[in-house]
Structure 1
Amino acid sequence: MSSPETGAGAAPPAAPPPTPRWRRILLDTRPLRNTAYRRLFLGQSVAFIGYQLTAVAVPVQMYAITDSSFWVGMLGIAGLVPLILFGLWGGAFADAIDRRTLLLISSVVLWVATGALVVQSLLGVDSPWLLLALTALQSAAFAVSGPTRSAIIPRLVPIEQVPSANTLNFTASNFGTVVGPLLAGLILAQWSYAVAYAVDAVLFTFALYAALRLPHLEPIGERVSPGLRAVGQGLAFIALKPVLLMSFAVDIIAMVFAMPRALFPQVANDWYGGGEAVGWLFAAIAIGSVLAGLSSGWIGRVKRQGLALTVAVMCWGLAVAAAGLARSLWLAVALLAVAGAADLVSAVYRQTILQVYAPDEMRGRMQGVFTVVVAGGPRLGDLRAGVTESWFGPTVSWVGGGLVCVVLVAAAALAVPKFRRYEGTTAPGR
């Protein structure tokens, strides 16, 4: 016999109260309720501020040593080659062994490379070749730690919270990209490169602690041998999935053609009078990303993620091109901030598509390729910007790259309708 609560005549349960409008707009913080994710998030967020100090100090030091944007662009090549090799290899390892252990080892190597930057600066070596070598070592370590950390996230939070977790991560990293360059500009103006590198080394200990406190995370599903065959399987998986392939292609286009950061040291001096202008230029894109992240509650509710990603990347290219025409520092910062807002949206959708589309036994390799593309694209962009500046000057290099990005992304999206129609609810592997 039915109880009064469950019988046919019982009143239906009360509907849950509607979600307040402000909570639909603001950053979704539900993933932070997970202790392991929260610790990883906080440790990486603090460490990323220090990482950005080094990201600014190295090209500024290189330009001071060589007086050449071409040498600054060469830092991109120094970082790209180990990024490709170790990114693919590191992703395969992340599918084969305990991901906590791999994250710890690669983080220690990254910490040691930062320490070596401190030493070379204190000794006054002033060698562009040494800077290239240490950049390569940092890139190799990052190429392993990056995909490993990203492959961990879907194991710590529910799948439906993965977009929110990615938004939190990108917002925090972009906050670091705001604070870090501004702090770098202050430190380099008042103190030295060694101080900037030393602060990075100290802050990175937070990331080491967070990795140490993670639970053991053995891969789920079929174990792979972390060799060339595993790497080839990962690349084949991407090649057969137009949605994944396009998510990588649009990012490569955006970063190679519309990333002007190799020009920042030069234009800060030539256009904006030097001083702390370089810090504002390096921080500007991230300022927009942080603001977009703080108002990103809507991102997880967008279904047409492929179309949203395409529009976001085109907005990035247009805003970058407009910034290259500005001769007021604050107008350039504002326009780069618009580009950064678009970049935050595109980054969240790219990462979410990849994490949800791939099964766990493929996530390490997928994140390895993602790391190669995300970190390698800007390095190729540095080289492109430096080379084209030497041929045509900074304005053509900057503005032309942004416009080429818009045209190529639009053409690619038109050529692959399956990507434009992709919805976040699509089952993995389809």
Structure 2
Amino acid sequence: MTGVQEARPRGARRWAIDVRPLRVPAYRRLWLGNTVAMFGFQFTAVAVPVEMYALTRDSFWVGLLGVAAFVPLLIFGLWGGAVADARDRRAVLLGGSLLLWASTLGLLVQALLNVGSPVLLLVLMAVQSVAFAITSPARSAMLPRLVPDDLVPAASTLNYTTFTAASVAGPLAAGLILSASPDTSVVLPIAYGVDAVLFTAMLWAALRLPALPPEPTADGQARRAGLASVIDGFRYLATTPVLLLSFGVDLIAMILAMPRALFPEIAHERFGGGGSVGLLYSAIAIGSMIGGLTSGWIGRLRRQGVGLVVAVVGWGLAIAAAGLAHQLWLMVLLLAVAGAADLVSAVLRQSMLLVYAPDRMRGRLQGVNTVVVAGGPRLGDLRAGTMAAGFGGGVAWVAGGLASAVLVVVLAVAFPALLRYRASTASSGDRP
């Protein structure tokens, strides 16, 4: 892999997204398969709520889809991380991917047969969530074994950027398919079928990966993926201030400053509803995508702890400023700025997590990361909605953003381990 560590060109390319990890064949196949599969998944992500509402005409059932997805993710995300540390990560990724593909095929079959069961939809979404909880820690934890440590930030950026791009383009393409006919029995099978076909790229990528067995233990004993292993992961996290603080600042940012539950109310009150709510929902993802495309500098950042704190504070302040805007273009612009800051914080946190932690712990920590990333925004929705009910949407939006920025600064100053962290720390004696 020495050929991918050469100096990067100067000038404009210093700001362009770093694509050197794509020179590593194993990572390139994984990135390509994941990108294609993630684009296809957006079709299912849009089609399932559409089908549920068409069946029930009740938003309560649509809301239950979130519960059906989150509860298995909370449970199996932690277990999936332990499995990723105890088994060959390629085998774990392949097995979980097959289960994910099977759940998508199940959605396709029930749509073709016009089963019309809301309960079946909930079950299939739960199975899909279990599969994602198994595959996600293994897919993330294997990254430092596919590319050199100095390219982990660039590889993480590529992953996040393509994810946000899929989150923008996928729903738009799914919307075109679903709007082609008012008869959902015609268009829903097409949406599920597209996802099922495109997901085969992920299966191909997993099959082509090299074997990634767990590193041998000091006593030569095999690792177990049980409750004790999960507890051991939490024990390690509790004694590692840098990683614990990185999770803490992300939770603060998502719980206090995630405004998406307020988008419908604000769009209606300030901009008359209509297409404005769609712009608000897409603005953060668009900002993240642009941030990723101009992220060449992230891999050169040495003081990653300071960078993480600045990015999270920037997220909170941009969110607060957006909540004060009464022009749609300005609110969208500020949300996009927040999305770019979120991209930077996500890449830095993931890079720190992958490089600082020992390989034997990466799967379990990625399991915790899966729960944090999935659970934080949902708790943020609850916080925003509850606060808006008592004080109004504008106050809930602005106060949350400001509180997030202030609390992150206080936490970083009170516990300076994060501010002291540098990228070189991972290769020094501080690394476990």
- The answer to whether TM tops 0.5 is yes
Number of the residue aligned with 1:295? 294
Q: 2:34 is matched with which residue: 44, 51, 54?
A: 44
Aligned equivalent of 1:218: 213
- Higher mean C-alpha deviation, range 72-81 or range 160-169: 72-81
**1:209 corresponds to:** 204
Shift of 1:95: 1.1
Select the residue among 89, 92, 95 that pairs with 2:85: 95
Residue 57 of structure 1 and its aligned partner are, at CA, apart by: 4.3
TM-score normalised by L of structure 1: 0.86
Paired with 1:160 and 1:185, the residues of 2 have a C-alpha distance of 39
SS class of match (1:233): helix
Where does residue 104 of structure 1 map in the other structure? Answer: 94
CA separation in 1, counterparts of 2:120 and 2:365? Answer: 32
SS for the counterpart of 1:426 is: helix
Which position in structure 1 is the counterpart of 2:376?
377
Q: Cα gap change, 1:53/1:387 in structure 2, threshold over 3 Å: closer, same or farther?
A: farther
- Check if 1:114 corresponds to 2:114: no
Shift in alpha-carbon separation, 1:188–1:270, aligned structure 2, 3 A: farther
2:247–2:372 CA contact under 8 A, matched in 1: yes
Change (3 A) 1:135 1:256: farther
8 A contact 1:73–1:386 mirrored in 2: no
* 1:112 CA drift (Å): 2.6
Cα shift readout 1:13-49 (whole Å, capped 9, x = no counterpart): xxx9984222322111111111110010011111112
What does residue 420 of structure 1 align with? 419
- Provide, for residues 139-194 of structure 1, a one-character-per-residue CA deviation record: whole Å limited to 9, x for no partner: 22111111100111111111111111111111111111121233344344444572
Q: 1:182 aligns with which of 172, 197, 201?
A: 172
Q: Distance in 2 between matches of 1:132 and 1:42?
A: 30
Contact 2:141/2:363 (<8 A) preserved: yes
Q: Which moved more, 1:80-89 or 1:401-410?
A: 401-410
Show structure 1 runs of 5+ residues with no match: 1-15
Q: CA deviation at 1:422?
A: 1.0
CA distance in 2, matches of 1:384, 1:71: 21
CA displacement at 1:269 relative to structure 2: 6.4
Shift, 1:400, TM fit: 3.6
Give the corresponding residue for 2:3.
none
Deviates more, 1:40-49 or 1:397-406: 397-406
Extract structure 1 runs of 4+ deviating beyond 6 A. Answer: none
Report if the CA contact (8 A) 1:79-1:376 is conserved.
no
1:80 shift after superposition:
2.6
Matches of 1:63 and 1:396, distance apart in 2: 31
Contact 1:185 1:279 in 2 (8 A): no
Q: Shift of residue 132 of structure 1?
A: 4.3
Shift of 1:280: 3.5
The runs of 5 or more residues in structure 2 that have no matched partner are 1-5
Tell me the amino acid that sits aligned with residue 338 of structure 1: V
The aligned residue for residue 125 of structure 1 is 116
- Per the TM alignment, residue 338 of structure 1 is displaced from its structure 2 partner at its CA by 0.9
Counterpart code for 2:164: N
User: Within 5 Å, which residues of 2 pair with 1:191-202?
Assistant: 191=181, 192=184, 194=188, 195-202=190-197
Tell me how large the CA RMSD over aligned residues is: 2.9
8 Å contact from structure 1 (residues 72, 262) kept in 2:
no
Letter in 2 for 1:202: V
Letter in 2 for 1:108: L
Q: Provide closer, same or farther for how the CA distance between residues 263 and 188 of structure 1 changes in structure 2, counting only shifts above 3 A.
A: farther
The Cα shift of 1:416 comes to 0.9
Q: Counterpart in 1 of 2:238?
A: 239
8 Å Cα contact 1:289-1:344 kept in structure 2: yes
- CA shift, 1:333, in A, is 2.6
Structure 2 partner of 1:149: 139
| Matched residue type, 2:330 | L
Matching residue within 169, 172, 183 for 2:162 = 172
- Return closer, same or farther for 1:18/1:415 CA change in 2, 3 Å cut-off: closer
Aligned-partner SS, 1:296: coil
Aligned to 2:76: 86
- What is the CA deviation profile of residues 67-102 of structure 1, one whole-angstrom value per residue up to 9, with x for unaligned ones? 65x766654443332112111111111111111111
Task: Rate the CA distance shift 1:237–1:380 in 2: closer, same or farther, 3 A.
Answer: same
Amino acid at match of 2:91: T
Equivalent pairs counted in the alignment come to 413
Indicate the SS of the match to 2:209. coil
The answer for the alignment partner of 1:4 in structure 2 is none
Q: Per the alignment, do residues 385 and 105 of structure 1 end up closer, same or farther by CA in structure 2, a change over 3 Å counting?
A: farther
Please give the secondary structure, in 2, of the residue aligned with 1:95: helix
CA 339–367 in structure 1, closer or farther in 2 if over 3 Å, else same: same
CA pair 190-126 structure 1, distance change in 2 beyond 3 A = farther
**Contact kept? 1:98, 1:217, Cα under 8 Å:** yes
Cα distance in 1, alignment partners of residues 229 and 95 from structure 2: 21
**Identity fraction in percent:** 59
